[in-house]
A and B are shown apart, each in its own frame.
Chain A
């Protein structure tokens, strides 16, 4: 028997039209409540995938806010629009032939050098990343710093939407992290060891066992499992 909870409704504006939605909804749930069928602009609903980039303004506030729709609770008279995608150049490259140095961007994302250091990107970033700082790190060839500062990027694209210099920050940062992982980061010895174990068939028996389990038993095992992240 389910208990109905009466929620207070508040007015919000989606694409300029007013909708009454339950207080405490997120932008995504509020849009669904208002009747929008979201096929794009929604993904994991957990704040990780970056698909639900949204812009909003609050009453009496000049600031244009960037946020993830699934992580942002609606407020009365909020104006909302989703920006599910930002058209962005995407360089094609072969990591094997690239070097982890400053020149890498001249052939992939040369517009990076157009940065005016105005920091508009950092103002809009829902992840509160120091976007301009990492772009500048890239310009001066510090790929390790660029990878580090951009680590929390979920590629929602809002920085790119707002950039006065029309840079594709998030794609350039992705390249920096790839190069960092491939050439600059310390190599972990565990990965090679584990791959060797897999190739030698160490987990084959356990894997077959799991594959043959009925669904209920598998579900039970999943929820009963012990999480142990201590890999040392």
Chain B
């Protein structure tokens, strides 16, 4: 079993707990142990764009430094930092880039963080779990499939933060394929949604649910028109906006039919035929289980 450091982020241990548990189960099946950093803090949630606002970069730099120290102290097989949440990935990578490039900022932030055990040099490499899977290889993945998803029409949704800005994105920002490649390796019927990298509305969900409901409506209806039966995502906030806000979509568009939105790891668990207690299929607003039962992908 290869051990690699893993940064959860706040959602992954609360609302999106099942994304974490399912990813860990999938990783284990692929001979990887995601080792949770023992001391981690919020990534900062939104990357600060003000050039002189260094305070907001302290949180991600602390995380990057502690990850580096942790993997060195514990002799992990892989020193890179795996992240599941698209937003955490985005903030960590962009901050990392900033302190790699701007020595003055790095020095200032390090000076500020004088309670830490060492100085951060910008050397932590942050990757998304999808990138780790791509590296393991789609071929290897498909060999693990015991329960092909051939009967299931899946439309992947990316959102913004996995892909943009392109300097930190994990795939082509305009035409990504990493989720499609993954789903194909599970033998799923992949449905192309032209709005797969349109914004879900992000934090507007807190102040104006209608904005998010409208954006979600467009995204979901386009997937449905293309024939999708289920949506996959990799971001807890996108997942919340596309799943939970279907309640608000229905109020505005009574003709709308609900569609399940799940994390790609949940479908991987089904395909790998892993025990589903940790898949969290019961953690959704739109329950995916009736569909999966109908498709004979769940045992009664």
- Chain B associates with chain A: yes
Total A-B pairs, Cβ < 8 A: 42
Q: Is the CB of A116 within 8 A of B14?
A: no
A177: Cβ under 8 A from any B Cβ? no
B10: Cβ under 8 A from any A Cβ? yes
Q: Which of A119, A123, A139 contacts B42 (CB 8 A)?
A: A139
A23: Cβ under 8 A from any B Cβ? no
Q: Which of A169-188 contact B (CB under 8 A)?
A: none
In the bound complex, how far is the Cα of B297 from the Cα of A117, in angstroms?
43
Label chain B's interface by main secondary structure. Answer: loop
In this complex, how many residues of chain A approach chain B with their Cβ under 8 Å: the count is 17
Task: For residue B44, give the distance in angstroms from its CB to the closest CB of chain A.
Answer: 7
Task: For residue B203, give the distance in angstroms from its CB to the closest CB of chain A.
Answer: 13
A141: Cβ under 8 A from any B Cβ? yes
In the bound complex, how far is the Cα of B39 from the Cα of A119, in angstroms?
13
Interface 9-residue window, one of B52-60, B141-149, B233-241 = B52-60
B62: Cβ under 8 A from any A Cβ? yes
Q: Is the CB of B58 within 8 A of A117?
A: yes
Contact size range, B: 10 to 19
Label chain A's interface by main secondary structure. Answer: loop
Q: Is the CB of B115 within 8 A of A140?
A: no
Task: For residue A194, give the distance in angstroms from its CB to the closest CB of chain B.
Answer: 37
Q: Is the CB of A117 within 8 A of B115?
A: no
A132: Cβ under 8 A from any B Cβ? yes
Q: Is the CB of B10 within 8 A of A140?
A: yes
Mask: chain A, 118-154; 1 = CB below 8 Å from B; 0 = not: 1100110000001011001001111000000000000
Chain B residues proximal to chain A, CB less than 8 Å: 8, 10, 13-14, 39-42, 44, 55-56, 58-59, 62, 112-115
Chain A residues proximal to chain B, CB less than 8 Å: 102, 115-119, 122-123, 130, 132-133, 136, 139-142, 164
Ranked nearest first, the 7 interchain pairs of A and B with the lowest CB-CB distance are A117-B59, A117-B41, A136-B41, A118-B58, A140-B13, A140-B10, A102-B14
A-B contact pairs, 22 of them (CB 8 A): A115-B42, A116-B44, A116-B56, A116-B58, A116-B59, A117-B42, A117-B44, A117-B58, A117-B62, A118-B55, A118-B112, A119-B58, A119-B113, A122-B115, A123-B114, A130-B39, A132-B41, A133-B39, A136-B42, A139-B10, A141-B13, A164-B55
